[in-house]
Copies of this chain bind each other. A is one copy, B any other.
Amino acid sequence: MIIITRPDITDDELDHLRERIEAAGLHTHLSRGEHRTIIGCIGDETKLMELPLRSIPGVESVMPVLKPYKLASREFTVNRTLVRVGANAVIGGKEIAIIAGPCSVENRSMIMETATAVRRAGASILRGGAFKPRSSPYSFQGLGKEALKLLVETRAETGLPVVTEVLDTRDVDLVAEHADMLQVGARNMQNYALLAELGRVQRPVLLKRGLSGTISELLMSAEYIMAHGNHQVVLCERGIRTYERATRNTLDVSAIPVLKRETHLPVIVDPSHAGGDAALVAPLAFAAIAAGADGLIIEVHPKPENALSDGDQSLDFNAFIALMARIPAFAVAAERSFAPHSQLAEAREFTGAAVA
Contact = CB atoms under 8 A, between A and B. Distances in A.
Q: Which of A65, A167, A170 has the most CB of B within 10 A?
A: A65
A193 B217 contact: no
Interface stretch (A80-88, A121-129, A151-159, A250-258): A250-258
Q: Which of A20, A52, A133, A140 has the most CB of B within 10 A?
A: A52
A136 B220 contact: yes
A321 interface: no
Given A284-B254, A284-B291, A333-B286, A243 B33 contact: no
A40 B31 contact: yes
Interface string A319-335: 00000001001101110
A262 to B, nearest CB: 8
Interface stretch (A92-100, A111-119, A308-316, A343-351): A308-316
B55 A312 contact: yes
A68 interface: yes
A257 B283 contact: yes
A227 B137 contact: yes
Contact of A283 (B134, B192, B290): B290
The binding surface of chain A is classed by DSSP as mixed
Nearest to A311: B52
Q: Which of A7, A190, A284 has the most CB of B within 10 A?
A: A190
B279 A286 contact: no
Contact of A246 (B215, B221, B334): B215
Contacts of A145: none
A190 B137 CA distance: 11
Interface residues of A, number: 109
A167 B49 CA distance: 23
Contact of A330 (B170, B210, B251, B330): B330
Interface in A12-43: 20, 29, 31-36, 38, 40, 42-43
Contact of A187 (B190, B247, B311): B190
Contact of A31 (B4, B29, B75, B292): B29
Contact of A2 (B38, B44, B190): B38
Contact of A52 (B68, B136, B274, B307): B307
Q: Which of A36, A243, A290, A308 has the most CB of B within 10 A?
A: A290
B310 A52 contact: yes
B66 A36 contact: yes
A312 B52 contact: yes
Contact of A220 (B135, B168, B334): B135
Interface in A195-232: 196, 210-212, 214-217, 220-221, 223-224, 227-228
Given A193-B167, A240-B244, A311 B256 contact: no
Contacts of A256: 283, 287
Nearest to A71: B137
A305 to B, nearest CB: 5
Nearest to A185: B190
Given A137-B224, A332-B333, A334-B286, A279 B261 contact: yes
Closest 6 CB pairs of A and B: A52-B311, A212-B212, A31-B40, A329-B333, A290-B290, A168-B193
Given A32-B42, A68-B135, A191-B191, 11 more contacts: A2-B4, A29-B31, A212-B243, A244-B255, A250-B250, A250-B254, A254-B280, A287-B290, A289-B290, A326-B333, A329-B333
